[in-house]
Amino acid sequence: MASLDVSKARASFPALQSGFIFADNAGGSQAARGVVDRISDYLLNTNVQLGADYSVSVVSTERVASGPDVAVKLFNASSPSEIVYGSSSTLNLENLARGLEPTIEAGDEFIVTGEHEANTGPWKKLAARRGGVIKFWHPVPTSPNNPYSVATRIEDLLPLITVRTRIVAISACSNILGSIVPVKEVVQAVREDAAAKGAMNVEVSVDCVAYAPHRRIDVRDWDVDYCVFSWYKVYGPHCSAMYVRSKALQTSVTSIAHHFLPVGSTAYKLQPGGPGYELVYGTTGVLPYLISLVPPPTKVASSEDPTIAHLDAAFSAIAAHEQELLKPLLGFLTAPEQIERGVRIVGTEQIGLSRVPTVSFVVVGPKAKRSQDIVEVFDKKGRVGIRWGHFYAYTLIDHLEPKLDTTDGVVRISLVHYNTVEEVQRIVEILKEALL
């Protein structure tokens, strides 16, 4: 396996040269230089309305159309006609819920994880509008010594499925817990259980907002109907892409676009108005950046897309480097002296490929500290950015026992592949002071 050249990766992000340590990447990563260059080039040279016959509009139209072509690779979708662009993942999923609304009946059931609200809120509101029922697939404790070390289990999900199940909405990775959900295994179990119970119209919506920066999405292998991620957390601009399976576009999704537009059975059904043209074109810089991180594989099966194979290699290198970032951070936070002090990881405590370097914790007990106060030490020190709060996973935080203050939430340190071990060591040094 090719190793990641971190210095080469960092060269694509001018802000990293300042020495500031960006450790709030789950809230938003830095944008790669190639992305910014495309946005600038679009606005300076082709900033006109699409669809006209004059030459500049033809170029502009081609540039915007190239956005879904790139998104297809990152989703491993079948066609650009399955790709929707929107200003955020929340908006994309809200539009999806609106498009599905005419097909929802009173009593239909929605199973949600209660994590990232983007893939929870739209379904809760849709159920309220149509007389549906919301069920929560909550994580449960996995450690006898830490009640906040929790994870979701398939065996807790399947009993929630009934003949009325309509949507199962899950997160591929938790933006609080840092744990990766085995999406393919979950979806297979859901579909088999649903079929056995006579639920014949179950569709699966997967939130990849916290997953996409760390692992490769594969909607076809996962067998999902809907999937979303945010480009601004994957080294791109502030917008989102959503995959909608072709079959769902034909049978489930109704159009929320202007009534006179010939949208057919394409994802444009869910794109009312035009997306930010310069941002869509800017996203085409993400794929070249990712595959620049490692050399292309020397051997690719004749049936395999060479770009997908190259992406696999890049994400494998990213995952390996991320484990090196996790070692000093999780090692410090789970050391006996920190446990004695009251530090508790919220999520998976173990280092491994089943978790990403998004690490959340609280300090409880006789030496309890507010999350806000811990982060304040970093803010006063300067040159390091971490954050406290519920991170739009309010329901998850509120469900944990013993109860946490949802207004204070957790301390979250979220790293990506352009962070270095030396940066993590600096974070640990400040943590030592903050936890005194």
Q: What is the pLDDT of residue 301?
A: 85
pTM score, two decimals?
0.97
**Same domain? 179 vs 47:** yes
Name the residue with tokens 């080039």: 41
Classify residue 176: in a domain, yes or no.
yes
Q: What is the pLDDT of residue 417?
A: 98
Other Cβ atoms within 10 Å of 374 Cβ, number = 22
**Same domain? 394 vs 336:** yes
**Same domain? 424 vs 355:** yes
Element (H, E) at 286: helix 286-291
The segments of the chain whose pLDDT lies below 70 read none
**Same domain? 389 vs 278:** no
**Same domain? 237 vs 358:** no
Last residue of a domain, one of 266, 290, 314: 290
**Phi first, then psi: what are they for 241, rounded to 5°?**
-120, 140
Report the alpha-carbon distance of residue 421 to residue 356 in Å, rounded.
Answer: 15
Q: What is the pLDDT of residue 273?
A: 84
**Same domain? 262 vs 353:** no
Reported in sequence order, the residue ranges of 231-337 that DSSP labels E, i.e. its strands, are: 240-244
Q: What is the pLDDT of residue 64?
A: 97
Contact by Cβ (8 Å): 64, 314: no
**Same domain? 265 vs 346:** no
**Same domain? 337 vs 269:** no
Going by C-alpha positions, the residue among 217, 172, 171, 205 that lies closest to residue 74 is 217
Q: What is the pLDDT of residue 346?
A: 98
Q: What is the pLDDT of residue 124?
A: 98
Report the alpha-carbon distance of residue 114 to residue 125 in Å, rounded.
Answer: 13
253: domain CATH number?
3.40.640.10
Name the residue with tokens 């033809």: 58
**Same domain? 125 vs 14:** no
Domain that holds residue 402: 6-31+306-434
Classify residue 415: in a domain, yes or no.
yes
Report the alpha-carbon distance of residue 87 to residue 237 in Å, rounded.
Answer: 10
**Same domain? 26 vs 126:** no
Q: Reduced to 3 states, what is the DSSP secondary structure of residue 336?
A: helix
Last residue of a domain, one of 255, 290, 325: 290
Question: Residue 198: left (phi > 0), alpha (psi -120 to 50), or beta?
Answer: left
**CA 20, chain centre distance (Å):** 24
Classify residue 295: in a domain, yes or no.
no
352: domain CATH number?
3.90.1150.10
Q: Count of domains in the chain?
A: 2
Reported in sequence order, the residue ranges of 208-294 that DSSP labels E, i.e. its strands, are: 226-230, 240-244
**Same domain? 142 vs 202:** yes
**Same domain? 278 vs 378:** no
Classify residue 297: in a domain, yes or no.
no
